[in-house]
Amino acid sequence: MAKTLLKGGRVVDPGNAIDRVADVLVVDGKVVQLGQAIDPGEADVIDVTGKVVAPGLVDIHCHLRDPGFPEREDFQSGTRAAARGGFTTLIAMPNTSPVCDNIIVTEYVLSKSKRVGIVNVLPYGAITMGQQGQELTPFVDLVAAGCVAFSDDGQPVMNSGLMRQALIQAKAINKVLAVHCEDKPITGEGVINDGEVSRRLGIKGIPYTSEAVMVGRDILLAEEVSGQVHICHVGCARSVELIRSGRQRGIAVSGEVIPHYLNTTDENMVTMEGRFKIKPPFGSKCDQEALKQGLVDGTIEVIATDHAPYTVAEKKRDFLREAPFGLIGLEAALGVVLTEMVHSGLLSLSDTLAKMTSNPARLLRLNKGTLGIGQDADIVIIDLDQEWQVKASENESRCRNCPQDGRWLKGKAVLTMVGGRVVMKDDKILI
Ligand SMILES: [Zn+2]
């Protein structure tokens, strides 16, 4: 029997409302005991005094690029990046090549990630075939194969009738649709947030309505058919308001915030670097405040990374026309969130970690994200006070398109355990 005792840490397990100093005993990959002064017996003892012991982070929005784009990322590099960041479960978006809209790709993602990955990977199925927005995928078959939810992320389902039908079908099997809200004709040729900064720089802007119109539409559709919709990467204040009012009406709508939006605004776009180019675009300071307020008042339940690797060459293309939209985030996410939400005093550690553990797991009906007895021993040890500088060149991810590069953050994952096995310690991958 493999036994490990995590000794003397501050256990923060939001899903079970635990926040106290305790030992955690792990046996054969499961959490078996949590309490004071547990007898270690034969166990390997890891002294975590002064550190936080939390459920491994669950990221319900990342792009691992396999199959199809190994130059950007694959299951090995992507899960190593995850382990560095304290993530133990990733839900991979289906915009691969081929798209995860069939059983073969679903099984490929599950089996290959298990073989070469070092954290858990579960797939999203696409909402529409080829993410083309024309025809729904076979939801029932995809769930049977192992898809845990559905998304066309990267592409909006522009056809409202089809989106309505998707909500009805997902409801019938108790699954969630995670939606990329963007009205493409409104986005047009826009590159950054439409506002004072875009006008100053003379760059075509993306009006906030590009996102908010679709957020509003999807909330209305979810209300009418009693479906459930999760809004990916909420970017603007108006969307936060729409989600808040939808929830107040009892509609099953949730939203997620991407950490980068907590410390980056359209003011950062003045350098016109590819590593800040993202959809939805970084908004104004007011948008940023609204996102933080949404996290504080519970309107936004989930923090996800939208880790979206693009190669250096891709990101070096012409900023205004050719450089793709998307940024990496697995390795810096926790540091950004702790710095902006916890150390700033905006939100408690437990409420913050809930948005990266138990809340996303509950949303997608995953048996993850807590340290309950009998649960998989997916655990992160956090040094809350470690100040560290992000160096994208040292990332495990294959790509470098990180807006945090060079910034100092406070708080870091120092050990990641997956199924009882330590996979990362002090920034080193151990397997
Ligand atoms: Zn998206």
- Closest to 218 (Cα-Cα) out of 294, 137, 173, 156: 156
Q: Are strands 192-193 and 18-27 parallel, antiparallel or unpaired?
A: unpaired
Q: Which homologous superfamily does the CATH classification assign to the domain defined by 56-363?
A: Metal-dependent hydrolases (3.20.20.140)
- Compute the distance between CA of residue 135 and CA of residue 165 in angstroms, rounded to an integer: 10
- Compute the distance between CA of residue 42 and CA of residue 209 in angstroms, rounded to an integer: 60
**How do the domains of the chain map onto residue ranges?**
3-52+376-387+408-429, 56-363
Q: Are strands 57-62 and 408-418 parallel, antiparallel or unpaired?
A: unpaired
Cα→Cα distances 241→246, 248, 310, 341, Å: 8, 10, 32, 20
CA of 226 to the centre of ligand 1 (A): 24
Cα→Cα distances 166→38, 127, 302, Å: 50, 7, 22
pLDDT tens for each residue of the chain, 431 residues long: 799 999 999 999 999 999 999 999 999 999 999 999 999 999 999 999 999 999 999 999 999 999 999 999 999 999 999 999 999 999 999 999 999 999 999 999 999 999 999 999 999 999 999 999 999 999 999 999 999 999 999 999 999 999 999 999 999 999 999 999 999 999 999 999 999 999 999 999 999 999 999 999 999 999 999 999 999 999 999 999 999 999 999 999 999 999 999 999 999 999 999 999 999 999 999 999 999 999 999 999 999 999 999 999 999 999 999 999 999 999 999 999 999 999 999 999 999 999 999 999 999 999 999 999 999 999 999 999 999 999 999 999 999 999 999 999 999 999 999 999 999 999 999 98
Indicate the pTM of the whole model. 0.98
CA of 16 to the centre of ligand 1 (A): 31
How big, in percent rounded to 5, are the helix, strand and coil portions of the chain? 35, 25, 40
Q: Are 87 and 56 in contact (CB under 8 A)?
A: yes
| Residues within 5 Å of ion ligand 1, judged at the Cβ atom | 153, 180
Cα pseudo-dihedral 53, 121, 112, 429, rounded to 10? -30
Tell me if residue 184 falls in helix, strand or coil. helix
- The CATH label, of 3.10.180.10, 3.40.50.1820, 2.40.10.10, 2.30.40.10, for the domain at 3-52+376-387+408-429 is 2.30.40.10
Residues identified as active-site: 306
Q: Are 24 and 379 in contact (CB under 8 A)?
A: yes
pLDDT at position 232: 98
CA of 154 to the centre of ligand 1 (A): 4
CA of 98 to the centre of ligand 1 (A): 18
**Tokens representing residue 108 in the block:** 């490929």
